[in-house]
Amino acid sequence: MRAKPDSLIRPAIRALSAYHVPDPVKGIKLDAMENPYRWPDTLVNEWLERLRMVEVNRYPDPAARRLRGRLRTVMGVPEGTGILLGNGSDELIQMIALAVCEPGRTILCPGPTFVMYRMIAAGTGMQYIRVPLGRDYAIDGEAMRSAIDRYRPAVIFLAYPNNPTGNLFAATEIHTILEYAPGLVVVDEAYAPFTDASFLSALERHDNLLVLRTLSKMGLAGLRLGWLAGAPHWLDEFDKIRLPYNISILDQVSGEFALDHLSVFEAQAQEIRRERARLFGALQSLEGISPCPSEANFILFRVPAGRAGELHARLKDRGILIKNLDGSDPDLAGCLRVTVGLAEENRSFIEALRDSL
């Protein structure tokens, strides 16, 4: 008899659901934390000219040295700190987990948080521990220290700002965790373009700190390019399990080009911050809606009890797609999440939500 999935696939994998990406809708897409701004035509033309010079018949530089050099300079990565590139930050999270996974080892996170930490923990056979966040989705320092003592995690992931809540954890709490943790602490700064806070400068102070970034939220979601900064002796080990040529030549050249024009994306990020403030105020003005303060390019908000699914469906019927988080985590009951879009998209969303209420 031929083998079947239930006899070969690990139970932890069969218990998972694949990461769900909804079908695109015709209308306004505000569900995936994407930069809503297209590249200016002049920038697109210049980018295409550079791509014409690429020799796609040749393998890319496996170490992507030029791109890493540009990242170090443009992003202000401290000297003596290593940089490792991934096909999106998800691949880097997976590399870290694969490098440390052993039976009985644990990944620990305050939650609710980014779902891929849990999925990758399961995929690598590690135990996943969720420590509930405290009031206003802040880190509960006492609960974190108690969990660290009990589980001795190999890796702690801290999304900063946190996804899906949008808030920044107190820097003092993160420094305490760095001092207290027996293993690695990964500060995931995927939404760095939309906040002034960062732990990059702390890399020289904490040997167990890794800082994870991505170019996706900056405006290159289709590129799938993440990077990890940390002590070289850690990154050298992760590099051993990195698949060869994981960053294509097109991604390398496009990434370098985008960094050469960083001012364009920084200006877009500043406009998104301004729109975030206007959108937050508009949500506050709606009766029954409770938005959470955000340092990211999205806003989590709670709706009247029992109406999350209904309101999500009504908005979709109006051609507006946001994220329904009700039921995804015990602390997200009645919660929806909206990406900050263009000014006219945000106005359409607020109008549709007001009508639906």
Q: What is the pTM of this model?
A: 0.94
Number of domains the chain contains: 2
Domain shared by 26 and 91, yes or no: no
Average pLDDT, the chain: 95
Indicate whether 66 pLDDT > 90.
yes
Indicate whether 16 pLDDT > 80.
no
Helical pair 343-356 and 262-284, crossing angle rounded to 10 deg: 20
Domain shared by 211 and 336, yes or no: no
Indicate whether 23 pLDDT > 80.
no
Residue 262 C-beta-side C-alpha neighbours within 13 Å: 11
Domain shared by 245 and 279, yes or no: no
Judge whether 110 and 139 are in contact, CB under 8 Å: yes
Q: pLDDT tens across 113-153, in order?
A: 999 999 999 999 999 999 999 999 999 999 999 999 999 99
Domain shared by 123 and 233, yes or no: yes
- Which structural domain range is residue 312 located in? 5-40+263-356
Judge whether 301 and 335 are in contact, CB under 8 Å: yes
Domain final position from 209, 242, 261: 261
Judge whether 296 and 273 are in contact, CB under 8 Å: no
Instruction: Please give the pLDDT value at position 54.
Output: 95
Please tell me whether the peptide bond between 291 and the residue prior to it is cis, using omega within 30 degrees of 0.
no
For 212, other C-beta atoms within 10 Å of its C-beta total 25
Query: Does 45 fall in a domain?
Result: no
The residue whose two tokens read 């589980």 is: 151
Instruction: Please give the pLDDT value at position 258.
Output: 96
Nearest one of 191, 176, 184 to 207, comparing CA atoms: 184
Nearest one of 217, 247, 197 to 95, comparing CA atoms: 247
For 37, other C-beta atoms within 10 Å of its C-beta total 16
Q: pLDDT tens across 214-258, in order?
A: 999 999 999 999 999 999 999 999 999 999 999 999 999 999 999
Residue 22 pLDDT class (50, 70, 90 cuts) = low
Domain shared by 27 and 164, yes or no: no
Rounded Cα–Cα distance for residues 253 and 323 (Å): 33
Rounded Cα–Cα distance for residues 328 and 112 (Å): 9
The CATH number linked to 84 is 3.40.640.10
Query: Does 22 fall in a domain?
Result: yes
Indicate whether 25 pLDDT > 70.
no
The CATH number linked to 30 is 3.90.1150.10
CA 128, 134, 136, 141 dihedral sign is negative
Please tell me whether the peptide bond between 24 and the residue prior to it is cis, using omega within 30 degrees of 0.
no
The residue type at 124 = T
